[in-house]
Chains A and B, each alone.
Chain A
Amino acid sequence: MKKSNLLNKLFDKQHKKQTVSYLIVIFAYVILEALLKTGNISSLFKNLLVPCTCYIVAALALNLCVGLSGELSLGHAGFMSIGAFTAVCLSGLLAGTLTNAVLRLVIVIIIGAAVSAFFGFLIGIPVLKLQGDYLAIVTLAFCQIIVSLINNVYFGFDEKGLQFSFIENKLNLSSSGKILIGGPIGASGTQRISTFTVGIVLIIISLIVIYNLMDSRNGRAIMAARDNRIAALSVGIDVTRTKMLAFVISAALAGAAGALYGLNFSTLTPAKFGFNQSILLLVYVVLGGLGNITGTIISASVLYVLPELLRSFESYRMIIYSLVLIGIMLISNNKFFKEKLAELKTRRFNRTHSKEAE
């Protein structure tokens, strides 16, 4: 009896979508893990698994910001880079003391997310006062600033302690020392400790965070502020505060994704997190559907894995991406299409209601 109650609750109208997203992730994990264990997976595909989870988390983070909060951010790659380089540095520093790789990974991801959230807060103070296009361009500016700052950071350590220099490489490390960030070269010689399982856990955590936020009072305030700012203000919602909440959580998730990403590669340049990366995330979110969480997961995984498998079409892929982006916007704003969609919705609504009446 109790069990069926739980099942009912999981598949009722309110929670159906959420349950589906969780099930998709768990199902994908079980299948992929089984394939990995039995060795039925090519090494090329195997290498794509961890970055794919990172992109899913980052896309979820961006969807929280763009889809749910309605603020277009073109700087989420910047948050990823903060998370990534924080994680790489900390992991390098902790490598000697903390030998358990998984524990170190978890700690480093948490700190990476926290640092990114802090920057999200700092950036949010000026940015969230603005609206629409201004916000987009300022987040873009912040992303450029972050990347160009990391491009000029030199950071390393040896037995005497930490060394840091800016703009010029003035590091004077002993032979046993290690450079963690080398300016434009970025991080190199990173110990690759990211695992697929941690990536999946991170996706699940992001889902829990986002779904709980959506169901909460704050989440409803966020969506109200998105749909009509003035109406939200007039019913006493502190719009800047709610938007800040969404923005900071989004930054933290993007930072966590970046941390996992950074520790998956032995070398990582700051240029990797430029404008193009932000656009890529935006494409995932838009194609998955703004505000649609399950859609984001599917579109991010398909769009990340598919082009990597079709490397030879590299130059065409970007053209196709851009055309699809324009096409989706044109179709979804087309009057004829909109009317058809509305018609379909009312028909479905009528059908379910007539069923209930019976």
Chain B
Amino acid sequence: MAEAVKQPLPVLVIGGSMVFLSYLITGIGLGSVYAIIALGYSMVYGIAKMLNFAHGDVIMIGAYVAFFALSRYNLPAVAAVLLAIAVCTTLGVLIERLAYKPLRQATSLSVLITAIGVSYFLQNMAQLLWSSSPKIFSSIVGNRSLTLFDGKMSIAYINILTIITCIVIMIVLTLFINNTKIGRAMRACSEDKDAAKLMGINVNKTISITFAIGSGLAAIASVLLCSTYPSVYPTLGSMPGIKAFTAAVFGGIGSIPGAFVGGLLLGIIENLSKAYISTQLSDAIVFAVLIIVLLIKPTGILGKKVNEKV
């Protein structure tokens, strides 16, 4: 590193590294969105031991709510975000109560199929209500960007906002999980539901709260996602949802820092492969990474190994 600073680098390389840096920052922005979504997946998986397939579609609903609030009713950005959070939280709790709660004792296959059913229902409902043609989302911070190094590099404001939001959420959530009563209850439930019940924890309520938090995060992610990629359509959530699950697995499912690390890495990998390998193949590369990670370390980068009980 020190040597590189001493020698005058050729202009081309500086230009190249600037381009690389801006791809990297866009990747971190995208990764932050994945991280926020992955948190929802990871927390729900950690506590309810189920893969909430409908999580991606909660994002989609959040995006539609924010879109209508911003474009049709001209609400300020903050109000739109709050409205989206309120709707998604309610929706998340409602889904949990109606579809997942009766299946607490069922096999994971039944729960997964139910979750797929819920996901399908939300998508098709959205298609019926709002048609499948994409709607243009106006970014909450506009399309401006920050220019650095005499215009050699520009970073979109939305990227900066996304990264900051993600970091704030991570810190708040970590503090919440570690230091509050509800947070401790959540950790206890994810360790052992029966023992938690014996300790006087209301397991059903804790699971509901987890779904509420996850869905609220999904709403925030939806606004950030649609400010970066400004189109809203019924299947909007499924790809980011699957990728965020990939991120959660990548980082170690059930772990908050894991979701953060996994999300960021995935965003960076996706954006760099879009930039340097092929746009069309970037999804294939992301999924190939998932498979390789699962092969080498099935518990993810920061995951704990759980011994099988007989």
Contacts from A to B (Cβ < 8 Å): 66, 70, 72, 126, 129-130, 132-134, 136-138, 140-142, 144-145, 148-149, 151-152, 167, 230, 275, 279, 282, 286, 290, 315-316, 318-319, 321-323, 325-326, 329-330, 332-334
Contacts and interface: CB of A to CB of B under 8 A. Distances in A.
Interface string B87-123: 0000000000001001101101111111011111101
A333 B105 CA distance: 8
A321 B118 CA distance: 10
Contacts of B5: none
B116 A325 contact: yes
B287 A325 contact: no
Interface stretch (B73-81, B205-213, B219-227, B290-298): B290-298
13 contacts: A72-B109, A126-B294, A133-B108, A137-B290, A138-B290, A141-B246, A142-B291, A148-B284, A318-B120, A318-B123, A329-B113, A333-B102, A334-B102
A141 to B, nearest CB: 4
Contact of A144 (B120, B283, B308): B283
B57 to A, nearest CB: 11
Interface of B: 45, 50-51, 99, 102-103, 105-106, 108-114, 116-121, 123-125, 127-128, 238, 242, 245-246, 249, 278, 280-281, 283-284, 287-288, 290-291, 294-295, 298, 308, 310
B298 A134 contact: yes
Contacts of A167: 278, 280-281
B280 A319 contact: no
A289 to B, nearest CB: 13
B263 to A, nearest CB: 16
Mostly, the B contact residues are helix
Contacts of A321: 120
A339 to B, nearest CB: 14
Contacts of A148: 280-281, 283-284
Contacts of B123: 318
Contacts of A137: 51, 242, 245-246, 249, 290
Contacts of A138: 290-291, 294
Contact of A322 (B109, B120, B310): B120
B51 A133 contact: yes
Contacts of B280: 148, 151-152, 167
Contacts of A230: 308, 310
A271 to B, nearest CB: 12
